[in-house]
A and B are shown apart, each in its own frame.
Chain A
Amino acid sequence: MTTPTLRVSNLEASYGQIDVLRGLNFEVGEGEVVVVLGANGSGKTTTLRSICNMPIVDSSGTIEVDGVDVSNADTGSIVARGLAHVPQGRGTFPELSTYDNLMIGAYVRKDRKAIEEDITRWFDMFPVLKERRNQTAGSLSGGEQQMLAVSRALMSRPKLLLLDEPSLGLAPIIIENLFDTFSRLNSEEGVTMLIVEQNANLALNIADRGYVLEAGEIALAGDAEKLKNDPAVQEAYLGA
């Protein structure tokens, strides 16, 4: 087997006294779309934050990106390996303009011209952002900010995209557009994705595989098709 883009082994995490993750093991292969489902508070956000070594999380275990151990690397150098993370809620820079938010998303890139092209690309994808180009991100609506957060992450042209509830607060038509984009980014540009999503139906539709997280442990794993037909998943996440 080839080296997976992301491999997580024995990941444990806690906030002070509270244990949140109890030994997670999973992988995301190159070019795969993997979805993580789980109830509120099951540790999904904590998992993504641990992968990037973001502050507040106390974690142990091994994180490998493209076979390189980044468990002790700082967030900046993990991101420099081609990973982008759309954090849950408020991932934007409220005091910066929409345009500057996109610019800083490309912070690790040097190809100035291609950066401008990408900005145009995401402006075309979300025309409302183009209209709000010079407005501060903080003055955008919640949904507009979410579009901006996603576009900002894509500005780094990531190989591996971590998405923490990208559909949060968006109108159904926008969500559909967004997942369409994810799907195309994956099939046409080979971007690997790890998506945390409450909108399980939509997520499983574009995913290859999925994991179900329960109280900090992986309760269920398998192909997207299999999960979709799993009675427990259907009851808990698909509202069947």
Chain B
Amino acid sequence: MELFVQRCFDGMFNGAIYASLAVALVMIFRATGLLNFAQGEMAMMCGYIALVFLSSSDSGIAGTQSIGSLLPGHPWPTWLAITGAVLVGFALGALVEELLMRPLGDGSPLAQVNVTIGLLVLLNGLVLQIWGPFGRSFPSPFPSGMNDHFLIAGARLRYTTLGVWAVLLVVIVALGVLLRYTKTGLAFRAITSNRDSAELVGVRVRRSLMLGWGIAAGIGALAASLVGGAIVLEPLTMMKMLIYALAAATIGGLDSPRGAIFGGLIVGLSQSLVPGYLGVPSELSLLPPLVAMVLVLLFRPHGLFGTVPVERV
């Protein structure tokens, strides 16, 4: 029993990470109808930037010296560093749309998706080049000492897990309100539905897309900075995360932020529960989430909460 609960808690933690990255993927999908394969790497880049913001200049981490001398009060406290990283993420996202996606034009979604894969490789190389292959950990914004946990049925529920979920829920509610109840959200939905007509009603499509990319990358940056406290950041971290996040987004339905949350939970839990009980070796830890994905898609081809497209007659 204790072991089961502990595994659930562990799965919940990983699930939060997958879910937040999945939410970022969903956001891009909602705004553009595309999958951004570079989402994880963009997030990781921002995680490292958070690290630079909060490390002292003599830490030996690349960039701390030059950036530190520019920033007042550097090294920054954790929350400020995370806020900074989220803003950098927002700018990075907007820039990717402006400099890479826009010139490709809307007529070539496949080309755009390919470019995001190229960006994945590029950013990964860049991070490796700048910060090296070492694993880095940095302080969690939540209390994360030995005793910072609740004991439930003998298992530990870390404050960090709760904290990450709390932030995630706030993000998801804010995003839901934005998409469903605001003019900006209506514009996002209109753009995905009919780009030509969106222009015709006066929606500034370019501006909306930049905003969409910015918000998505900002959420990714938040995810990367929040988990920094609990897992080690290294250049390969996000490749794996992205695969899980893609599975999570697919399970939840690619256009549903709410679905991304449930998808993240399902992936996290299946990953922490199934191998332990069924004896799946850890090399195959990717398997349970993928099986879960196939099972869900078998019964609900558009995911748990995804919009089923209307048939035109």
Contact = CB atoms under 8 A, between A and B. Distances in A.
B196 interface: yes
A15 to B, nearest CB: 13
A151 interface: no
A137 B194 CA distance: 12
Interface stretch (A36-44, A74-82, A189-197, A230-238): A74-82
Contacts of A142: 313
24 contacts: A54-B200, A55-B196, A74-B199, A75-B199, A75-B200, A79-B199, A80-B202, A87-B200, A90-B194, A91-B197, A92-B194, A92-B197, A93-B190, A93-B198, A94-B193, A94-B310, A95-B189, A95-B307, A95-B310, A96-B186, A104-B186, A104-B201, A105-B201, A156-B201
Contacts of B202: 76, 79-80, 107-108, 156
Interface in A91-129: 91-96, 100, 103-105, 107-108
B200 A52 contact: yes
Given A92-B194, A95-B189, A107 B199 contact: no
A100 B309 CA distance: 17
A93 B197 contact: yes
A107 B310 contact: no
Given A93-B197, A95-B189, A104-B186, A76 B310 contact: no
B137 to A, nearest CB: 43
Interface in A154-192: 156
A85 B194 contact: no
A107 B205 contact: no
B199 A54 contact: yes
A136 interface: yes
Contact of B193 (A54, A55, A93, A108): A93
B183 interface: yes
A136 to B, nearest CB: 5
Given A104-B190, A141-B313, 14 more contacts: A74-B199, A75-B199, A85-B200, A91-B194, A92-B197, A94-B194, A96-B186, A96-B189, A96-B190, A96-B193, A100-B186, A103-B186, A104-B186, A138-B310
A152 interface: yes
Given A96-B190, A96-B193, A100-B189, A138 B312 contact: yes
B189 A152 contact: no
B203 interface: yes
Contacts of B197: 87, 91-93
A139 interface: yes
Contacts of B205: 76
A156 B201 CA distance: 8
Given A76-B202, A95-B189, A152-B201, A54 B196 contact: yes
A81 to B, nearest CB: 10
Interface residues of A, number: 31
Contacts of A136: 310
- Bin the interface of chain B by size: 20 to 34
A65 to B, nearest CB: 14
Interface in B185-239: 186-187, 189-190, 192-194, 196-205
Contacts of A87: 196-197, 200
Top 3 A-B pairs, shortest CB-CB distance:
A138-B310, A93-B193, A108-B202
B194 A93 contact: yes
Summarize A's interface: helix, strand, loop or mixed.
Answer: loop
B104 to A, nearest CB: 14
Given A95-B307, A107-B187, A76 B193 contact: no
Contacts of B106: 55
A68 B284 CA distance: 65
A47 to B, nearest CB: 15
Nearest to A53: B199
Contacts of A85: 200
Nearest to B194: A93
Contacts of A100: 186, 189-190
Most A-side CB within 10 Å, residue of B186, B189, B194, B203: B194
Given A76-B199, A94-B310, A107 B189 contact: no
B201 A108 contact: yes
Contacts of B307: 95
Contact of A76 (B190, B194, B203, B312): B203
A50 to B, nearest CB: 14
Contacts of A141: 313
Contacts of A108: 201-202
A125 B203 CA distance: 26
A232 B189 CA distance: 47
Nearest to A95: B193
A138 B308 CA distance: 12
Contacts of B311: 138
B225 to A, nearest CB: 34
Contacts of A55: 106, 196, 199
